[in-house]
Amino acid sequence: MAESKQYASSPIATLLGDVVDSRHHPDRRQLHQRIQAALETAADSALDRPSVTVGDEFQGSYPSVGQAIDAALTLRLALAPAIDVRFGIGWGPVSVLEPGSGIQDGPGWWAAREAIEATAASQQQHGLRHVRTTFRNATDSGPDPHAVNAALMCRDHLLGSLDERAVRLLAGLRAGLPKKELAMTEGISASAVSQRAGGDGLDLILLAARELAHIR
């Protein structure tokens, strides 16, 4: 990972991401290019810029759990609906094993690995099939994983229930695009965009995203 920093014992938020069913993607080169481009959209607040590690897996780190959750949503919307991704977010101390290469280790990354494995396991259960993000805390302080995961499960269920147009509208609204512009792109009226924003829960998802981003 480029430009890695040496961390003390203070915990940070770690983010692991993985493409769902990537082996079935028809064009692996294009998949990699799409992921690389999406990672740039989630780099602004990162301690370590998110980057591909091996295959279709990527990782990055952030000052707070809320910022990691926000980055995960940014990445998910940047890749949707063509590419489905799952995430694991950890909270804990991290150390750099090799400053030259930036190889990292520590409870923060172990927690993120446990979290993404939990996400994959949840997807195998019918009632939890829309879950795409899980949080684990490797410390005795910091955010309560039960509360955070309850919010993430509900948000992910809403996201997973959207059709492709609703996902595009959500991404546009989150990017701050005017409803008139979104309406023209989709070939619908501005009032139809407003109706979908309310009826499909897009406004609720955006509000939840703002609240989740404040988690320290």
- Edge-to-edge, what's the strand order for the sheet holding 85-92? 48-54, 57-62, 12-19, 85-92, 133-137
208 in a domain, yes or no?
Answer: no
Can you give the residue range of the structural domain that contains 26?
Answer: 12-143
83 in a domain, yes or no?
Answer: yes
Across residues 141-149, what is the average pLDDT?
97
Write the pLDDT tens digit of every residue in 64-108. 999 999 999 999 999 999 999 999 999 999 998 877 776 888 999
169 in a domain, yes or no?
Answer: no
| CATH number where 40 lies | 3.30.70.1230
204 in a domain, yes or no?
Answer: no
- Point out the least confidently predicted range of 10-14, 51-55, 154-158: 51-55
The pLDDT of residue 1? 42
Write the pLDDT tens digit of every residue in 3-42. 444 444 689 999 999 999 887 788 888 899 999 999 999 9
Write the pLDDT tens digit of every residue in 171-216. 999 999 999 999 999 999 999 999 999 999 999 999 999 999 999 9
How many domains is the chain partitioned into structurally? 1
111 in a domain, yes or no?
Answer: yes
Model-level pTM? 0.93
> Is pLDDT above 50 for 167?
yes
The pLDDT of residue 22? 82
The pLDDT of residue 212? 97
The pLDDT of residue 4? 46
Write the pLDDT tens digit of every residue in 125-139. 999 999 999 999 999
The pLDDT of residue 27? 85
Tell me the pLDDT band of 2, cut-offs 50, 70 and 90.
very low
The pLDDT of residue 66? 98
The pLDDT of residue 9? 65
> In terms of pLDDT, which residue wins out, 54 or 89?
89
134 in a domain, yes or no?
Answer: yes
